[in-house]
Structure formats: C-alpha cells, structure tokens
Structure 1
C-alpha cells in the first residue's frame, strides 16, 4: 500500500503519476495524518470499473439462478465471457 501526504501531489506530481503507472496500484493521500484521497492512473481505474461491472453482472445472474429465473446455455455463457475478457 502506497501512502503519501497530500502535499506530495503538488510538490512531486510527475513522481506520483509515474508511480501510479508503474505499480498499477492506487496511491493513498493523507491530510493532517488522516485518509483524504486516492489517486490512480486511468488504465487502472478503467480496469477496476470493468471488473466491478462484471462482478455486478455475475451477482445478478447468480441471484436469477437461485430464484429459478431464466438462464443461458454453456455456449452462450462462453461467448459472453470471451467478450468480457477481451474488453479487459
């Protein structure tokens, strides 16, 4: 976990930006010793958003399955997952 004071982003923007890209991990910025902001590069954020969307969709499908509502064939599922993985 990378933690920096919030002043670091003003004083060392390029260093923080490079660190975000190199680690593909968020950097947590503090203010007065407490958590304040999270900074990450756009690629990492896009990847996280896609993964969250996929998890939501999988949860909805699982809820439908448990409730006995419609589903899809294995071939349909395989094609869908191939498309989702290709996007990530």
Structure 2
C-alpha cells in the first residue's frame, strides 16, 4: 500500500519518513496542496533502481545490435569451447 504524506511531514517527521524508507525499501509519496509532488526513497533503493535501469539499457542496446547475420552458429561456438577446454576428448 502506498505511503502518502503531506509536505509538512517532510519537515516535521523527517526521521519517521527516513526510518520507513530505509526499513521497508519502499517510497514515500509527498503531496503539496493535495497533489502529488515528490517521491522519497532510501539511498540504497535509489541505487538499486538506477542499477536496474542501467542493466535494462545495456541489454536493450545489446539486443538492438543483433541481426540475423551478426551471430556465430551454435555448432561453431560449442566446437570452440570443446576444443579450448578439452571437452569431448576421451
């Protein structure tokens, strides 16, 4: 369930908001005059979300580089691995 607080709580109950964000890794939504204004996160949760976003960006970039002719046949990849590490030899 969303934790929604008025902007006055940010000033008057900062420690309570900070404790909640750090304990539950959940955001606190701050309203200003009854309208959504800010979202407060713990630093750890913010870093996790940034890392997740960066991972998605890199995966998308990698997928965009794939074309039907850009790959190496699986048989060749496995043959190289077997050759390099001695698999398949008796």
Scaled to the shorter chain, the TM-score interval is 0.7 to 0.9
Q: Give unpaired runs (5+ residues) of structure 2.
A: 78-90
Task: Kindly indicate whether residue 23 of structure 2 is the aligned counterpart of residue 26 of structure 1.
Answer: no
SS of the aligned residue for 1:35 comes to: strand
Query: CA 1:69–1:2 in structure 2 vs 1: closer, same or farther (change >3 Å)?
Result: farther
**What residue number does 2:11 align with?**
10
Query: CA 1:56–1:12 in structure 2 vs 1: closer, same or farther (change >3 Å)?
Result: same
Give the number of aligned pairs.
73
**TM-score normalised to the size of structure 1?**
0.73
Alignment RMSD (CA, Å): 2.2
Q: Which structure features the higher share of helix residues?
A: 1
SS of the aligned residue for 1:25 comes to: coil
Larger radius of gyration: 2
Q: Give unpaired runs (5+ residues) of structure 1.
A: 75-88
